[in-house]
Structure 1
Amino acid sequence: MSAILVTGADLAPQALALLVGHDVIYAGKTPTEDDLVALCHAHDPAAIIVRYGKVGSAVMDAAPSLRVISKHGSGTDTIDKVAAQARGIDVVAAAGANAAAVAEQALALLLACAKSVVVLDARMHAGHWDKATHKSVELSGRTIGLVGLGAIGLRFARMADALGMRVIGFDPFAKNLPTYVERVDLPTIWRDSDAISLHCPLTDDNRGLLNAATLAQCKRGVVIVNTARGGLIDEAALLSAVRSGQVAMAGLDSFAVEPMTAGHPFQGEKNFVLSPHIGGVTSDAYVNMGIGAARNLLQVLARQPATT
């Protein structure tokens, strides 16, 4: 019976049912690298399901039987893929398992920004009635620019199209786009978009994609939404752009350093709508990601017999 290490405190029962016959070990809610190394030394897992924390070379070297690292979700930036490749370890992801959940969160953040949902709620609870002085933004007829047209980006594109928005998108790898998505380059995204939503993985090439230079190229009063990875945005540059009015509102579900700690510059800023990277955290996505992660690792183990 081979061991499977989960870098989290639980796994959906439907996923566990697929892993019957394997010894599943949990690392807890917030595992450190030292925690994972110790567990690998103790159990020598054949597979790791990555929920929280990072899996780098030290963890891999502590598990000589490790053959596959399976992401509980779609983003694999917390896994050192170069180190895995060098050791012959497969890295797989449950792509699309949380697409509906994340796309819905992006839409929620976009609407919250355009309709001043958070500010008006606070004002109402404080006893104010701002009907005579407040005007929201109408999204119909506006242009939404999407960076990344994978499962999540395309799902969000469909929602934006249903709102009557012009949808433009950049993704050098996307093929067979629906007719309502206009493929453009990044300069066009910055120049034409009334709102920009990020849906791409984080790589060394696109880290800090939204920075002082690119934000300056955007329309004044643009809305920024990020449900992808915090590292895509230069946070200091975004804060400056929001304070200056170059960016009207920012709706963010991911951050450069997570979890966000007290004293972060975004906290208390009135034109930021923040959520704690929960776009993919729904009961349905939890099940789908668990099943996807389990199936992916089992496929690798089945085609790659253990060495003796």
Structure 2
Amino acid sequence: MSAILVTGADLAPQALELLEGYDLVYAGKAPTEEDVAVLCKAHNPVAIIVRYGKLTAAMMDAAPALKVIAKHGTGTDTIDKAAAKARGIEVVAAVGANAAAVAEQSLALMLACAKSVVELNDRMHQGHWDKANHKSLELGSRTVGLVGLGAIGRRFAKMADAMGMRVIGFDPYAKDVPGYVKVVDLDTLWRESDVVSLHCPLTDDNRGMLNASALAKCKRGVIVINTARGGLVDEQALLAALRTGQVASAGLDSFAVEPLAAGHPFQKQERVVMSPHIGGVTGDAYVNMGVGAARNLLAVLAHA
């Protein structure tokens, strides 16, 4: 029986039904690169479903039967795609499977920042009543700039439009953009946005795109939301902009290094609202991503 390796501890039952007839091997919730390489060598899988951790050339070389790498989700930056291509291994992603979940997390973080939800909650629990000296930001009629207009960006755009926000977006690859989104260049997006929200994959070309130069072009008091990849943001530049007030607040679900290291400066910055990269982690998305990954790899294996 051919093996499929999962770099995680489980898959949705609906995905398991699709993969009946294959031997499923699980690497666990926090597999190291060595763990995965050992399992590859022991089981020689025809497919790998990537949930956690990286997938490197060494792991691929340990599995000579490997035909396809399927991402349990949309972001493939943890997979060495160049190495896969050189070895004739196809890389596929469950595009759109977690779009609703991540877009909702983006909305939650934007609202939390604009309405000081976390700060006011903490103050209330401490016995304070700040009605006389607090003003929240009203988002209706404000401009939100979306970097990336794929499935997640478009879903978030629809939510923002429904709130009465002006929606602008940058995505050189987007086609058939909805009419309520005005496509602009990146400099215009930085300059005109009251909220900047990142929804693009991480590539060598856009790594650190939200840097000191970009932040300096933004409106003073801009809100920054990132539910995409931490590597898109120059974290030191963002911290500096938060300290000067150039950035009013930031809602972050992804970070340059994950898990977030103990003592990270973000942990001491009150105007940063954080979640542990769980934007795409919902019951529905878990099923959608598992089923999407299973269908994708089966399609490749059927033609291998």
TM-score of the pair, normalised by structure 1: 0.98
Match of 2:288? Answer: 288
- How far apart, CA to CA, are the structure 1 residues paired with 2:120 and 2:245? 19
User: What's 1:142 paired with?
Assistant: 142
Q: Which amino acid aligns with 1:178?
A: P
In structure 1, how many angstroms separate the alpha carbons of the residues matched to 2:121 and 2:277? 22
Cα deviations across residues 82-134 of structure 1 (Å, max 9, x unaligned)? 00000000000000000000000000000000000000000111111111110
Q: Which residue is equivalent to 1:178?
A: 178
> How far has the Cα of 1:150 moved from its partner?
0.1
- Give the whole-Å Cα distance in 2 for the aligned partners of 1:289 and 1:303: 22
Q: 2:89 aligns to what?
A: 89
What is the alpha-carbon distance in structure 1 between the residues aligned to residue 268 and residue 213 of structure 2?
A: 25
- Residue 56 of structure 1 corresponds to 56
State the identity %. 75
CA distance in 2, matches of 1:10, 1:121: 36
Give per-residue Cα distances to partners, 1:226-269, cap 9 Å, x unaligned.
Answer: 00000000000000000100000000000000011211110021
- State the secondary structure of the residue aligned to 2:284: helix
Which residue of structure 1 lines up, in the alignment, with residue 44 of structure 2? Answer: 44
SS of the aligned residue for 2:265 comes to coil
Alpha-carbon distance in 1 for matches of 2:239, 2:205:
22
Runs of 4+ in 1 over 6 A off after TM superposition: none
**Per-residue displacement from partner, 1:250-296 (whole Å, max 9, x unpaired)?**
00000000011211110021100000000000000000000000000
Is the partner of 2:133 in helix, strand or coil? Answer: coil
CA distance in 1, matches of 2:249, 2:167: 19
Aligned counterparts of 1:194 and 1:224: Cα–Cα separation in 2: 9
Question: CA shift at 1:6, angstroms?
Answer: 0.2
Letter in 2 for 1:243: R
SS in 1 for 2:128: coil
Residues of 1 paired with 2:137 and 2:260: CA distance? 29
Please give the secondary structure, in 2, of the residue aligned with 1:266: helix
Q: Separation in 1 of the partners of 2:37 and 2:276?
A: 27
Unaligned runs of 5+ in 2: none
Paired residue total: 304
Q: Does 1:133 align with 2:107?
A: no
For 2:127 and 2:41, the matched residues in 1 are separated by 59
Aligned-residue CA RMSD in angstroms?
0.4
Q: Distance in 2 between matches of 1:52 and 1:35?
A: 12
Residue identity opposite 1:20 in structure 2: E
